[in-house]
Amino acid sequence: MTEYDAIIVGTGQAGPSLARRLAAKGNRVAIIERALFGGTCINTGCTPTKALVASAYAAHIVRRASEYGVTVDGTVTIDMKQVKARKDAIVAASRNGVEASLRRTTNVTTIQAHASFVSPHQVTIGNEILHAPRIFINVGARPAIPPIPGLDTVPFLTSSTILDLDHIPEHLIVIGGSYVGLEFAQIYRRFGSAVTVIEASPRLVGREDPEISDNVRQILQAEGIQIRLNAKTTRVSPGINVSIDHPEEPGAIIGSHLLLAVGRRPNTDDLGLDKAGVAVDAKGYIKVDDTLRTSVDGIWAMGECNGRGAFTHTAYNDFEIVAANLLDGGSRGVHDRITAYSLFIDPPLGRVGMNEAEAVAAGHKVLVGSLPMASVSRAYEKGETLGLMKIMVDGETKQILGAAILGTGGDEVVHSILDLMYTKAPYTILQQVVHIHPTVAEFIPSLLLNMKSV
């Protein structure tokens, strides 16, 4: 049995950073990765998908060149093999960087193998047992496969395997009208595929306010993406024949490729967590407290596998919480975190804090300000006027409750609101800020000057 001061299982956003911090304090650390270094973000999430989004955006702009007075001779074509090669090169550089950094870090032993618990503080890798008083689980999650009848009779893609495509589908059918599915829907529509999105709920991205969801739908439909709402997939048959139950238009949709984008499941089912006594919920997510401790003393869970956040930035914040409390005498917790994320269609959605429905349900005296992006001069000048800006504040405390910016630069602009929310300062401060003109952010004070009670 080999002794360490700490063992980290998984190399997503939290694990490597924690390994370096622990090692810098003189701890002997073993970090174990069974597959690809860097976790979901680098290999099958943010990095490859945003590389594809960039290629799709380039194609979209070239097709619109004449709107800007630019003449492009010839037909716009997509070299999907080159698109994939570009994406793969970006991913490889990031993945190799993570591995190389770990292997050259003093006091860190990097192991590529599958780890499984045999007791609360022992894990096995092959025939070897490793022991440490502190163990950190950072194993992430993977695409969920829904129990659709007939699915075993057809080839299908997930958000991971679709990244291996080096050709353009003739007709891509996407089951799932939420964040991941919609990004791929727009990517492949811009690459030239016919695309149909099937969503069982009444609207897309159901966690958003209705007007945000409706604007997202309009944006995608304007590009020729077919969207079927209130459509439950009942069966899949060979030939990519997808049968749907729809109140008005039941029947079948026939495509060339099928993408399943209906959620994710944690990579916790083969870790031997029962042998360690680590509690999980009904979906397999590891139960943690506000400081990310599991049900077993000396074991923490970070990143997507703990069910407290499904994003790269929340996983990294998990590392910050654990490191601050263990190494810096801090008292940080998940409760300090403000919800923030983006939907990376074009134009993107930047979201922070509560939506309007959540704010009302929480009992706040809600004031709402909104503005169509068509009224934003910078968006008008860029020829990118789709979407809207929306902000919610508490009429009594004057604090910002949340915001949604769906439009050009929305994923960046929303941070000016998020930053103020962390200070807990009144929204009136933003009313007095002098922003640069012409920018999207300069219209945030305008939102705050024209608010209405809900």
Q: How far is CA 122 from CA 2, 12, 18, 126, 176, in A?
A: 10, 21, 19, 13, 40
Per-residue pLDDT of the chain (454 residues; tens, 9 = 90+): 899 999 999 999 999 999 999 999 999 999 999 999 999 999 999 999 999 999 999 999 999 999 999 999 888 899 999 999 999 999 999 999 999 999 999 999 999 999 999 999 999 999 999 999 999 999 999 999 999 999 999 999 999 999 999 999 999 999 999 999 999 999 999 999 999 999 999 999 999 999 999 999 999 999 999 999 999 999 999 999 999 998 877 889 999 999 999 999 999 999 999 999 999 999 999 999 999 999 999 999 999 999 999 999 999 999 999 999 999 999 999 999 999 999 999 999 999 999 999 999 999 999 999 999 999 999 999 999 999 999 999 999 999 999 999 999 999 999 999 999 999 999 999 999 999 999 999 999 989 988 999 9
Long-range CB pairs of 98-104 (<8 Å, 24+ gap) are: 98/11, 98/16, 98/37, 98/38, 98/42, 99/11, 99/37, 99/38, 101/16, 101/20, 102/11, 102/16, 102/19, 102/20, 102/31, 102/37
Active site residue 121: no
Please give the C-alpha separations between residue 336 and each of 137, 229, 319, 353, 421, in angstroms, as whole numbers.
21, 36, 14, 12, 11
CB within 8 Å of 274: residues ≥ 6 apart: none
- 3's CB contacts (< 8 A; 6+ apart) are 28, 130, 131, 132
CA–CA dist 5, 19 (Å, integer): 11
List of domains in the chain: 2-142+265-336 (3.50.50.60), 151-262 (3.50.50.60), 342-453 (3.30.390.30)
Please give the full DSSP string across 236-299, using - where no structure is assigned. EETTTEEEEE-SS--EEEE-SEEEE-S-EEES-TTS-HHHHT--B-TTSPBP--TT-B-SSTTE
Distance CA 204, CA 373 (A): 20
